[in-house]
Structure 1
Amino acid sequence: MKHVTTVIDIPATPEQVWATLVDTAAYPAWNPFITKLSGELAHGQRLDVRIAPPGGRAMTFKPTVTCVEAGRRLEWLGSVGVRGIFDGRHTFTLEALGDEGTRLTQAEEFSGLLVPFTGTMLARTRAGFEAMNEGLRRRVVAGARA
């Protein structure tokens, strides 16, 4: 099993961050990593997700939503091919920081037979998460000022 975890503090309430995070129709305007996300963000629902990792090939997959806690947590599980070959559990966790805003943790836990052969994929994934986190921060801050 391998993990990628990134963290960013956003000077806004968890509700403001959540509203932007779940407004998936707006992703093309600000999200350089997840360039498309369609489907209902509800437990058990399948999504259609397209990612564009920096320095890597764009990829589309259809994960299943495994957890939605409004304002706190969103999680999905995706697989390449048959489950157990290469799986990724993606999570967004929001933590209130009082007057200082919200801490967003974006993480992926990779498992399956192909994980030992991931090469530079983890570094590209981390870079993609960081770019998305920064894009989200900018979008939320711009919206909070409007």
Structure 2
Amino acid sequence: MVKRILLVVVALLVAVPAGLYTWTRIAPHQVRAEVEIDASPERVWQVLTDFGAYPQWNPFIVSAVGEARVGAVLTNRLSDEGSVTTFTPTVLAATPGRELRWIGRFGVPGIVDGEHYFRIEDLGGGRSRLTQGETFTGALVPLAGGALDVADNFAAMNTALKARAEKMP
């Protein structure tokens, strides 16, 4: 009887996280915000990838250290409602004037993974659209609740980036 109980407990300890992980691969949690900017894609890229200037204008990613190149590891500090969190994502894509994308993980892969992206679209006439988003997957994502609802933070960063890009000469 004890062996059966232990077997059931072990099975649950394996099955529940595996099920949650599988669920988020099928139906990930996605967040996004976009803004139109009166600046060229090249200017938007310049502001986005000037990590050293983030403390001057960025209300969400208050500090970023590293390079916008594939394989680089960044050290980002996020501000959310007065609390600051540091994480070290790996850059997956860095196409000047078009896309910056990285993946960050909470602990080991598969617990909470966030693939964050910035996409820049050329609207013509010196205008751009910036879309910032993140796709969250992992075993604990369904249990995270509102902690992953960061669209307001994305919108605040997009608005600040817009203001900075539009005032540059």
Same fold (TM over 0.5): yes
Alpha-carbon deviation of 1:41?
1.4
AA aligned opposite 1:25: G
2:20 matched residue in structure 1: none
CA distance in 2, matches of 1:118, 1:142: 38
2:94 matches 1:86: no
CA distance in 2, matches of 1:76, 1:49: 11
2:85 matched residue in structure 1: 59
Select the structure of larger CA radius of gyration. Answer: 2
2:129 matched residue in structure 1: 103
CA distance in 2, matches of 1:118, 1:2: 10
Alpha-carbon deviation of 1:56?
6.2
How many percent of aligned residue pairs carry the same amino acid?
44
CA distance in 1, matches of 2:66, 2:110: 24
After TM superposition, the score normalised by the length of structure 2 is 0.81
For residues 58-105 of structure 1, what are the alpha-carbon distances to aligned partners after superposition, in whole Å with 9 as ceiling and x for unaligned?
211111000011110000000000010000000000000011600000
CA distance in 2, matches of 1:43, 1:61: 17
After TM superposition, the score normalised by the length of structure 1 is 0.93
CA distance in 2, matches of 1:17, 1:80: 29
2:164 matched residue in structure 1: 139
AA aligned opposite 1:103: R
Alpha-carbon deviation of 1:30?
0.5
How many aligned positions are there? Answer: 142
SS in 1 for 2:168: helix
CA distance in 2, matches of 1:22, 1:71: 10
The structure with the largest helix share of the pair is 2
2:68 matched residue in structure 1: 41
CA distance in 1, matches of 2:105, 2:129: 28
AA aligned opposite 1:72: R
Structure 2: stretches of 5+ with no match in the other structure: 1-27
Over aligned residues, Cα RMSD in angstroms? 1.1
1:75 matched residue in structure 2: 101
1:25 matched residue in structure 2: 52
SS in 1 for 2:97: coil
2:12 matched residue in structure 1: none
Structure 1: stretches of 5+ with no match in the other structure: none
CA distance in 2, matches of 1:3, 1:100: 29
